[in-house]
Structure 1
Amino acid sequence: MIAQQNADGWIRRYHAADESPIRLVCLPHAGGSASFYFPVSRALAPAVDVLCVQYPGRQDRRHEPGFTDMHAYADALTSALVPWVDRPTALFGHSMGAVLAFEVTRRLERDHGITPVRVFASGRRSPSSFRPETVHLRDDDGIVAEMRELSGTDAAILGDEEILRMVLPAIRSDYTAVENYRAAPGDTVNADITVLTGESDPRTSREEAESWEAHTTGRFDIHGFPGGHFFLAQHQAHVLKIISERLAATAHQG
């Protein structure tokens, strides 16, 4: 799996599509890596230029410290993305990635005068829907138990102690950042928001997913799927169809 990447390591392009009229930036879940979105990149190219975000603390960035503050996370990622928003750009984030996509969008709009064409918020309650969670305070076994419950990590990784030792610091950092994150009900973006949610997700209720609507001054739509937190795995074709239709409509309008 060979990918183009930018000098600071944040961006992976598995299927570069330089002629595409639109870009999609994909942000992984807590503990996730850019390669999680390889199938999305493969499916959407060459119509869409897909950028997959690689967070510090994992894979080839495993020696870099992870972020424990969501706002610092968003500041750093926004700086890395600015050179890439030279054409209409959408953001797709799953779980923690949805929160990060929202905060990056706020910064692009506020600090750079750039409004993404759409934010796809997947598998996450709205920014102002707070739940007290303390996964980041658990011991290593407790974090692994959380990962198993949500079924978001490859079983081979969960069973390989050496790999686990490498990735657990990054996972703990991510959980620290997202579990301590707060947003005010009045925090909004101008970008349209599309929400994707699992109907039996133990971390996001339908009401919490619907409350994303209060965080945009643009258009809003929501799509529910059978399944839990990682419904994406079972409904990849349907999710890709929604993404493609929304982006195609945007490109046509442009």
Structure 2
Amino acid sequence: MSDEQPVGLHCFAHAGAGVSCYYGWHRELGEGVASTAHLLPGRERRRREPRLTGRDELVADLLGHFTPPARPGTPWVLYGHSLGALVAYTLTRALHEAGLPLPALLAVGACPPPDAASDLSDSCTASDERLLPLLDAAGAVPPGAAPGGLWHRAVMPVLRDDLTLADALRRAARQPSPAGPLPVPMLCVAGRDDPLAPPGVVAGWSRWTAARAVARTVPGDHFFVRGRELPRLVGRACRVVRRTTAGGAAPVAAGAGR
């Protein structure tokens, strides 16, 4: 693969986060994969920009980064974790509806599909008293975070806006697409001990593509994105994409978990 352009892997993070969860991925992805983490407005270096809470503004923010692809003819892949899964799906659908080049593979993790219940995004307008136990059970609240403390002041507003965005994306996804079903293969990844998106629920993403979908389970809870198994899995999937597209076959993630 050394003489070939690397597969471009574009990543989106979970609610309330920047992109730090992807900082170490280059060490685990393996050869032939070049990753880019896309930062949404309202955090890290974009912290002065208004946060996004609707589908149309999200698409407007992202679409220009993917039209046209930086290297025409080179396969590229999307991975989104939790909220990022909805972002990646929304972007893929927007590209499809605009008649633009699509990723060779859409990978989603730690996220119920839009037609399944989602405890967090369904609670986007709930009081702190109702929302905080859900966040705590998922491991999103750091130990010792006192009410009214720095975490609550700095992170909770971002989380709330991100959950509002997730709810908007789920609602928009349930509307029929004028372009028809998504023709992109999917890799659907769940954490074995994820209380918010267990494996059986995440596998339901297979209903959201007309192409092949493969479900895989990795060790960890809702934040398995921080572990080593996920980037290794996604890296293998990217190399499967490279081999199948180079051979003229339809790209699938069939070997991603092997």
The TM-score by the shorter chain falls in which range? 0.7 to 0.9
Please state which structure has a larger fraction of its residues in helix: 1
CA distance in 1, matches of 2:48, 2:151: 14
Aligned to 1:111: 98
Q: For the structure 1 residues 142 and 130, does the alpha-carbon distance in structure 2 shift closer, same or farther, using more than 3 Å as the test?
A: closer
- Does residue 199 in structure 1 map to residue 192 in structure 2? yes
Unaligned runs of 5+ in 2: 247-258
On the 8 A contact 1:65/1:170 being kept in 2, the answer is no
- Does residue 129 in structure 1 map to residue 122 in structure 2? no
Aligned to 2:48: 63
On the 8 A contact 1:135/1:146 being kept in 2, the answer is no
Q: CA deviation at 1:193?
A: 0.3
TM-score by length of 1: 0.79
Q: CA deviation at 1:247?
A: 0.9
Unaligned runs of 5+ in 1: 1-18
Q: Does 1 or 2 have the higher relative contact order (CA < 8 Å, sep 6+)?
A: 2
SS in 1 for 2:103: coil
Q: CA deviation at 1:155?
A: 5.0
CA distance in 2, matches of 1:25, 1:120: 10
Which one of 167, 177, 182 corresponds to residue 179 of structure 1?
Answer: 167
On the 8 A contact 1:199/1:224 being kept in 2, the answer is yes
- Does residue 53 in structure 1 map to residue 46 in structure 2? no
Question: Alpha-carbon deviations, 1:85-134, whole Å to 9, x = none?
Answer: 53311001011111111110111222142121111110011122244755
On the 8 A contact 1:20/1:46 being kept in 2, the answer is no
Aligned to 1:244: 235
SS in 2 for 1:33: coil
For 1:63, the aligned partner's letter is R
CA distance in 1, matches of 2:46, 2:131: 21
Q: CA deviation at 1:164?
A: 4.2
Matches within 5 A, 1:70-149: 70-86=55-71, 87-131=74-118, 133-139=121-127, 143-149=131-137
For 1:251, the aligned partner's letter is R
On the 8 A contact 2:29/2:234 being kept in 1, the answer is no
Question: Which stretch has the larger CA shift, 218-227 or 27-36?
Answer: 218-227
TM-score by length of 2: 0.78
For 1:28, the aligned partner's letter is A
Q: CA deviation at 1:149?
A: 2.0
CA distance in 2, matches of 1:46, 1:249: 12
On the 8 A contact 1:56/1:64 being kept in 2, the answer is yes
SS in 1 for 2:210: coil
Q: For the structure 1 residues 134 and 126, does the alpha-carbon distance in structure 2 shift closer, same or farther, using more than 3 Å as the test?
A: closer
Across the two proteins, how many residue pairs are aligned to each other? Answer: 234
For the aligned residue pairs, the C-alpha RMSD in angstroms reads 2.8
On the 8 A contact 2:77/2:106 being kept in 1, the answer is yes
